[in-house]
Amino acid sequence: MSNKIPIPNDKKYDLLERTSVLGENIIEFARSIKKDEVTRPLVSQIVRSGTSIGANYMEADAGESKKDFKHKLAISRKEAKETMHWLRMIAKACPVNQADCRNLWKECQQLVFIFSSIINKSK
């Protein structure tokens, strides 16, 4: 898992691609989790929140106004934070998946920082 998250090589980094890759990695991660009565709802939640980060970023990128852009970007940030929560719950429920959870959690955290910075600079 961890080697599939791209690291930017230049100053310009495509957030659309980065959020899409994160969604793909979340899907792949979800498929790797052993399903039982505890993990099934956690997996469902993480797939929804983890894939919506990119979808909402796409909407922000196509925003009709500065206000619309900031609102959609704030939703992306919220979904990234929610994904961090579900990753923590999965790490507790599935100790064998903790390393993957940690790597995905770090990527979500970086996106939260990036989105927060963009939102704050666009005030």
Distance of CA 102 to CAs 10, 13, 64, Å?
25, 22, 36
User: Can you give the residue ranges of every domain in the chain?
Assistant: 15-121
For the domain made up of 15-121, the CATH class stated in words is mainly alpha
72 has pLDDT over 80: yes
Mean pLDDT of the chain: 91
Q: What are the pLDDT digits (tens) for 83-105?
A: 999 999 999 999 999 999 999 99
10 has pLDDT over 80: no
On whether the CB atoms of residues 102 and 67 are closer than 8 A, the answer is no
**The CA-based dihedral angle spanning residues 55, 51, 101, 29, taken in that order and rounded to the nearest 10 degrees:** -140
Question: What is the model's pTM?
Answer: 0.87
- For residue 11, what pLDDT is reported? 42
Q: Across the chain, which distance is largest between two alpha carbons, in Å? A: 45
Q: How far apart are CA 65 and CA 4, in angstroms?
A: 34
61 has pLDDT over 80: yes
